[in-house]
Amino acid sequence: MKNMSFSITSLTVKAGTTVTWTNNDNTTHTVTADNDSFNSGDIKAGYSFTKTFNAQGTFPYHCTYHSTMKATVIVN
């Protein structure tokens, strides 16, 4: 996360892959699934959130504080 956006807006991975988001901004962000299946809670500047995607599917997510920050993880 940088400049009030997710650096990668669409990421395709294999099941079992662990994804890490690092907040390189000067403000707090979240990584929150649109369907609420995962939520990082607050990620302060300089901190990270890690999630392992075990199930196949499409997982759109957003930042709860900044509505323009949206992205998707696709798990094959």
Residues 8-29 have pLDDT tens digits of 999 999 999 999 999 999 999 9
Rg of the chain over Cα atoms, rounded to whole angstroms, equals 12
> Is there a contact between 43 and 25 (Cβ–Cβ < 8 Å)?
no
**pLDDT of 43:** 99
pLDDT tens digits, one per residue of 33-64 = 999 999 999 999 999 999 999 999 999 999 99
10-75 in CATH: which number? 2.60.40.420
Which two tokens mark 12?
A: 């395709």
Per-residue model confidence (pLDDT) at position 53: 99
- Joined tokens for residue 51: 């999630």
Task: Look at residue 4 in the predicted model and tell me its pLDDT.
Answer: 98
pLDDT of the residue at 36: 96
